[in-house]
Amino acid sequence: MQTATSWLQEQIFNSDWKNISGEDKLKLFEQAKEIEKQQIIDAYDNGFSSGYDDAQGDGAIFEEGKEYFAETYVSKGSDETKTN
């Protein structure tokens, strides 16, 4: 699986970066953020379904990765404002 960072790096190196508009550059960064968000959600979902069971004992188990992402990243001052 390709990480969001390596995907963005590939986009930059495989393009004529100097001639891409600022708006299109911003779109690439937003796509990379979405890829990273989905990877975090998937990692949580995969770990949870593979047997993770509140190992820290703090009761912080979420039923879905989207809930985990919202609680961990969105509510902690991220510039992300919605979890789709």
Which pTM does this prediction carry? 0.68
Nearest to 70 by CA among 83, 84, 79: 83
Q: Where are the domains of the chain?
A: 4-76
| CA gap 52, 42 in Å, rounded | 14
Mean pLDDT of the region 36-48: 87
Q: What is the pLDDT of residues 51-84, one digit of tens each?
A: 555 555 555 577 788 888 888 888 665 555 444 5
Nearest to 76 by CA among 40, 30, 24: 40
| CA gap 70, 84 in Å, rounded | 10
Per-residue pLDDT at 65: 85
